[in-house]
Amino acid sequence: MLGYLYRPSRSLQKDMWLESYYLSSFRKCYDDLETMLNPETLTGSGGQEAIQSFLHPCFKSNARRNFIKKLMNINIRMKEANLILTKVDKMTAAHGILPLSPLFTKRMIESSMRCPPVYKLRGNIG
């Protein structure tokens, strides 16, 4: 959020700075790729640029003009569905329990996306 308010540092590519800040805040090894991977693997995978390119259409989309709604959309699609729900499903399935996640129902997600962004922030804090 602060990166969005203050704009990119000079060391970042001008067209991919939002993606870079988002991935750094995600805290899932994005900043450590050069340390973790050998040079051949890093080059072969496309490195940080390949990951940024994956997010680029989400940030540049005109479908959601408001930045908060863009972040919510990305978080719902990338974080919750692929990380949190997968872990919950695996842990509960091991014990024969069917988890119900009311925060990730279609109705709840649609309602949260309809809510005006002004109600989701206090000052510049989400």
Most confident of the following: 7-16, 28-37, 40-49: 40-49
Residues 22 and 76 in one domain: no
pLDDT of 1 strictly over 80: no
Residues 5 and 53 in one domain: yes
d(CA 29, CA 8): 20
**What domain range includes position 118?**
65-126
Q: Which of 60, 80, 103 is the last residue of a domain?
A: 60
**Which two tokens mark 113?**
């996306």
Q: Which of 58, 61, 72 is nearest to 112 (CA)?
A: 72
pLDDT tens per residue, range 26-40: 667 788 888 888 889
pLDDT tens per residue, range 75-95: 777 776 666 777 788 888 888
Residues 78 and 56 in one domain: no
* Domains of the chain: total: 2
Q: Which residues, at least 6 apart from 121, have a Cβ–Cβ distance to it below 8 Å?
A: 68
Which pTM was predicted?
0.57
Q: What is the DSSP letter of 29?
A: S
Residues 4 and 46 in one domain: yes
Q: Which of 22, 43, 60 is the last residue of a domain?
A: 60
Residues 10 and 55 in one domain: yes
Q: Which of 60, 77, 99 is the last residue of a domain?
A: 60
Residues 75 and 112 in one domain: yes
d(CA 5, CA 113): 22
| CB contact at 8 A, 73 and 65 | no
Q: What is the DSSP letter of 11?
A: T
Residues 37 and 79 in one domain: no
Residues 2 and 20 in one domain: yes
| CB contact at 8 A, 49 and 16 | yes
Name the percent of the chain lying above pLDDT 90: 1
